[in-house]
Amino acid sequence: MSLFDDSPLQLPDAELELDAQWLDAATADSWLAELTAQVPWQQPQVQIYGRQLPVPRLLAWYGDAEASYRYSGLTHQPLPWTPLLASIRERVVQAVGQPLNAVLLNYYRDGQDSMGWHSDDEAALGTNPLIASLNLGGARRFDLRRRGQKRIEHSLVLQHGSLLVMRGPTQHHWQHQVAKTRSACAPRLNLTFRLIKPSP
């Protein structure tokens, strides 16, 4: 396993870029405080091995009206952009140079909150989707493994104010996770901006 700092990250069949200091600390602090307070967090139940269990983190989904999102067999309508989320989106769109119409917010309350192995490969994202992931709050490890394999090949530390961009074939060949950790860690807010294609 290797720890990278700044981009670009040389992984085969992937395009990953990490800007560890994308945001200045004062802006990152104020976005974290404002979003944590203003977002109506939810903890939906999902079916895991035939049991209904709450997801191990808090979620919220914002976006343009057509950017509905399927999660665990249900279609969720996005919440309308708040002024702050709309201005964050604008900055992210400028940074990546392509439109983005939705954002999934994940709030990891402590080291016991996590996200399991997955690729962001829902049909509504199209082929070779760009995912722009903004990190606020406690630093967490972000692991990558090749699809169909168990071994973690690379890990990044996503710290306060960093922006990770995944594009090209990354989601077709790689999975990612944010594992639970026993180390003490401050609450963390991750925002993954996406472009959802309207369903026909």
Ligand X SMILES: O=C(O)CCC(=O)C(=O)O
Interstrand relation of 154-158 and 15-19 (parallel, antiparallel or unpaired): unpaired
**Residues in 53-112 at the binding interface with ligand X, rule: CB under 6 A:** 104, 106
Smallest distance, ligand X to C-beta of residue 106, A? 5
Helix (H) or strand (E) holding 164: strand 162-167
Residue 142, contacted partner among ligand X, Mn ion, none, CB below 5-8 A by kind: ligand X
Output the six-digit token pair for 119: 């690729």
**47 to 55, 84, 105: CA distances (angstroms):** 9, 33, 20
Select the residue whose beta carbon is closest to ligand X and give its number: 190
Cβ nearer to Mn ion, comparing 27 with 55? 55
One residue of 15, 29, 64, 120 binding Mn ion per CB under 5 A: 120
Cβ nearer to ligand X, comparing 29 with 120? 120
Which residue in 56, 99, 127, 73 sits closest to 193, CA to CA?
Answer: 99
Cβ nearer to ligand X, comparing 160 with 176? 176
Radius of gyration of the chain (CA): 16
Smallest distance, ligand X to C-beta of residue 129, A? 11
Residue 104, contacted partner among Mn ion, ligand X, none, CB below 5-8 A by kind: ligand X
Q: Is the N-terminal amide bond of 44 cis, ω within 30° of 0? A: no
3-state helix, strand, coil in the chain (%, to 5): 20, 40, 45
Smallest distance, ligand X to C-beta of residue 115, A? 5
**Residues in 104-163 at the binding interface with ligand X, rule: CB under 6 A:** 104, 106, 115, 120, 133, 142, 158
Identify whether the C-beta of residue 164 lies closer than 8 Å to the C-beta of residue 9: no
Note whether 190 binds ligand X by CB under 6 A: yes
Bridge partner list, 140: 158
Helix (H) or strand (E) holding 24: none
Residue 158, contacted partner among ligand X, Mn ion, none, CB below 5-8 A by kind: ligand X
Interstrand relation of 2-4 and 154-158 (parallel, antiparallel or unpaired): parallel
Cβ nearer to ligand X, comparing 153 with 200? 153
Cβ nearer to ligand X, comparing 50 with 125? 125
Q: Which residues bind ligand X (CB under 6 A)?
A: 104, 106, 115, 120, 133, 142, 158, 176, 178, 190, 192
